[in-house]
Structure 1
């Protein structure tokens, strides 16, 4: 594996970079999708992922790309976003139209709900293994402004939690029909039977759910992104949040999405957006909302931060 060159971008150089990225977009994009895996120390087994590489991507290029992590849903896998979510076609079209920057999309696989649950330390593996691997293997930026995270259903649960726990790492987050149920999952949710939340007795671990759900992160997140006394700005910026849900979702995702929006608007009133779509907890809704989610995210990804410490 090649060694990562010592390139880092400051806020000033980002403007010129992104103008160049958009200028390289051709009418017919020759993007690629590849499946890979690497040995995860945290998991003790191979970590699978699918990667979308934009037209013109080359390991020996000087171009640095934004990276977006896309998380799958409960009992899904790393192939879902390409096979069912039309990620390649959507990204190609949006890059060609100039709606988003040419970017690398990483679609990891997990047997958990993106948590350190009873069956797999998925959260730790994401932060400690996957992100370092991606930033060494691919020509992606390692600044907050160059990263986004998104997911659907259980992946929306995971993406939201990642952004709330580490707002210093992500410039934007999107949660599509997030399975971020408060206080507990509905009876028909797969969370009730997923190995991530089943204790040794095979019962749903309500205490673990409460510890891992987004509601447990809100106060620490609020403290991180709220200016301290006598300070005009906080050291860490809020993570703008896009939420979507289907109006006929069998898990009542609209209700929980509205609760999530209300909770987040108390912390960052100008950085939360909710879209509602006709349909249920299905790929039809997620495919429909993906362009809006990416458009929202790329209003913030690739934008030089003005108030983060050290920049």
Structure 2
């Protein structure tokens, strides 16, 4: 008969192995909320949250570099939106531990209501487009083991973040391997000379990112569609992943379909997913895993 103390040691050891601790691999990711760095583009600190995948701290992977997804939030959220409501760590932990997804770093910046464009020249929220394109990757790639090549850099977002992700990727295809856009707030009804019926609502939504009052010409000049010629003949293949819920009350599914059709008409490769649901977190939480797996499928076998 085994001594009770020995049985306890065996059980504890088994639990440690199961959790990965004896192997030097944490079973769960590390999620660092509300970090900050000094952004030259903003002229002030930029906040962000960062997800480090299982195994990131393992001694045997000290030289490994990981692909990075810059994941952008929508209007009304901040750097804690995706962690708190999108459950990024839970989704990626599950997929990575199961072997269904290679480890990724995910960076989730706070973009206020900037629409992820530059607006300091008109008194808007600030130059968030440049901050996310230049300053944030430089900081992340310096302080964490993030891949520094285009093949390991992705951008994605929801609603306002979908608009921003598409704009960043289409304007700078040399910087990103792929873009993912969920329920993108594309506002296709905005045309030259368009005027809103409720200016106060526009102020709440856009916060001066395109001028105050809202300037449709500036919005159109910053729209992802303006940069489509860049992805007709990009310097290297760029993946485009579009997703929306079929019951989106803001009509994002229709705007997404319009963009999908325009990309196809231009012979630009694109993936489309229309899921069940509205403009809400339960749709985006479910869409996150398939999008990440699609990103992983684009990467070179050796990880770039």
Match of 1:195 in 2: 207
RMSD: 2.5
Q: Which moved more, 1:255-264 or 1:175-184?
A: 175-184
Unaligned runs of 5+ in 2: 1-22
- Which secondary structure does the structure 2 equivalent of 1:175 belong to? strand
TM-score (norm 1): 0.79
Structure 1 position 172, deviation (Å): 1.4
Match of 1:71 in 2: 72
Structure 1 position 41, deviation (Å): 1.5
8 Å CA contact retained: 2:37, 2:47? yes
Structure 1 position 125, deviation (Å): 1.0
Q: Answer with 1 or 2: which has the greater Rg.
A: 2
Distance 2:131 2:97 in 1: 33
User: Matches of residues 246-285 of structure 1 in structure 2 within 5 Å?
Assistant: 246-269=245-268, 271-285=269-283
Which structure has more relative contact order (CA 8 Å, sep 6+)? It is 1
* Number of equivalenced pairs: 268
Unaligned runs of 5+ in 1: 1-23, 226-235, 306-310
Distance 1:196 1:254 in 2: 26
Distance 1:258 1:127 in 2: 26
Distance 2:57 2:172 in 1: 30
Of residues 113, 116, 119 in structure 1, which corresponds to 2:125?
Answer: 119
TM-score (norm 2): 0.81
Structure 1 position 196, deviation (Å): 3.8
User: Matches of residues 12-27 of structure 1 in structure 2 within 5 Å?
Assistant: none
Distance 1:80 1:302, change over 3 A: farther
Match of 1:290 in 2: 288
Of residues 155, 158, 161 in structure 2, which corresponds to 1:149?
Answer: 155
- Which secondary structure does the structure 2 equivalent of 1:178 belong to? coil
Report which of the two has the higher share of helix.
2
Match of 1:90 in 2: 91
Q: Deviations over 1:183-209 (max 9, x none)?
A: 42997996664214352xx32110111
User: Matches of residues 100-179 of structure 1 in structure 2 within 5 Å?
Assistant: 100-111=101-112, 112-117=114-119, 118-179=124-185
8 Å CA contact retained: 1:191, 1:197? no
Q: Which moved more, 1:238-247 or 1:209-218?
A: 238-247
